[in-house]
Amino acid sequence: MSATDRQAGPPARSGKAAALGWILTIGLNVVAPIVTYDVLTGDRGWSEFAALLAGSAWPVLDSAIMMAWRRKVDEFAVVTLVFLVITALVSLIGAHTARALLVKDSGVTGLFGLLCLATLLASRPLMFYFGRKFATDGTPESTAWWNGMWQYEGFRSTMRTMTLVWGVAYLAEALTRIALAYVLPTDTMVVVSPVMIYGVLGALGVWTAWFGRRRAAEGRRRAAEAEAEAAAAA
């Protein structure tokens, strides 16, 4: 960020609320689908395809809970629901096999990567909206603070770089999972697939936090240098 890219920090947010949100997300998107698949294919005798399709209902529940919790539909929720609908529709088209469903599911994350890259041509990239969801607590004050940051060139550059990295990473993740779906057994891929999805998400989250701190530190350093030069000139 440049020397003028300075603004008051975000309003305080609830750490307990953020932790609860992540517990729900991991539980409903990773743990619940795996348990559902194991129970339905083992004790209930369901087909692999039917068990995978049933397990996909848990992410829908996660989105519904989050929207009810936030009491509003934001851009992040809209994107999530759109991809859940795409997943449901794609799963019912073409071959009804477990491998086909796993490949189609991988294709959806690939579409997410393409969406990230496509939004680089929009007025604001996708990571701006993702950042607003996770960097604020959804209150009008914190939302206004985040929206106001867009006026700074350094902030805009950071959001666009993050969006580019996320897009490329999820395209690579999707292609890798599609290849693995043809190599590994279905029961193995049921575990590997969500681990890859959220493993990549976790790695990107760590990188995003590091990159954001680095850009902020660079902005503070440049601001201090500019102030020192101004003081010397005076």
Separation CA 173–CA 194 (nearest Å): 11
pTM of structure: 0.66
Displacement of CA 109 from its chain's centroid (Å):
10
Structure tokens at 117: 């890259």
Whole-number pLDDT of residue 195:
84
CB 8, CB 145: distance < 8 Å: yes
Residue from 52, 2, 51, 62 nearest 27 by CA: 62
Residue 21 has pLDDT above 50, yes or no: yes
pLDDT, mean of residues 108-116: 86
Residue 119 has pLDDT above 90, yes or no: yes
CB 194, CB 32: distance < 8 Å: no
Separation CA 226–CA 68 (nearest Å): 46
Distances (CA, A) of 16 to 5, 9, 72, 142: 30, 20, 20, 17
Separation CA 155–CA 75 (nearest Å): 19
pLDDT tens per residue, range 22-59: 677 667 766 777 777 678 777 667 776 677 667 777 77
| pLDDT interval class at 121 (50, 70, 90) | very high
Name the more confident of 172 and 187. 172
Whole-number pLDDT of residue 112:
84
Whole-number pLDDT of residue 191:
84
Name the more confident of 6 and 207. 207
Which amino acid, one-letter code, is at 135?
A: A
Separation CA 11–CA 132 (nearest Å): 12
Name the more confident of 42 and 16. 42
Residues 6 or more apart from 216 whose CB is under 8 A from it?
Answer: 1
Name the more confident of 15 and 199. 199
Separation CA 170–CA 176 (nearest Å): 10
Domain ranges of the chain: 15-233
Separation CA 56–CA 169 (nearest Å): 23
